[in-house]
Structure 1
Amino acid sequence: MTESITERPAGDIAPDLDLDNAAWQPGSQGVGDVQVAFVEGFIAMRNGRNPGPAVVFSPAEWRAFVLGAREGEFDLT
């Protein structure tokens, strides 16, 4: 189960989140080795094959990222 996500004010910077005990989940279909975790109202994403630093998104940033990925905005080919 994922915790509820709340919006942060525009321009607010993600706090230092403790990701050591985060419940990392595999990404959706076709995402490969990506893992995501929902922590303190933010979404963290990392490489699941070689876990290291995570990229942290607000809910609005996550929605924009997912929509861009669906539309092929980040395709390299």
Structure 2
Amino acid sequence: MSPIALTDQQMAKITDLVRLIPPWRRDEFLRELAIRLRDVELGDGAVHRIAARCLRDVLARPRSWPVDSGQRG
């Protein structure tokens, strides 16, 4: 996949949204967002709307907790 050219402001908005996602789901969000942004004109409004929709969609999916190392306290 080729790099997506985002402005500093667009990256800041995406970074703000990523902080709302559990760490083990961030990769899923960022990969899906990259796919959704691939064929879009990258204006600030479009990037924010697509990222917000992607966030909602990813968090709405059922997902199990990350696999732990089997160690119990």
Q: What TM-score comes out, normalization by structure 2 length?
A: 0.29
Higher helix fraction: Structure 1 or Structure 2? 2
Higher strand fraction: Structure 1 or Structure 2? 1
Which gives a bigger RCO, structure 1 or 2 (Cα 8 Å, sep 6+)? 2
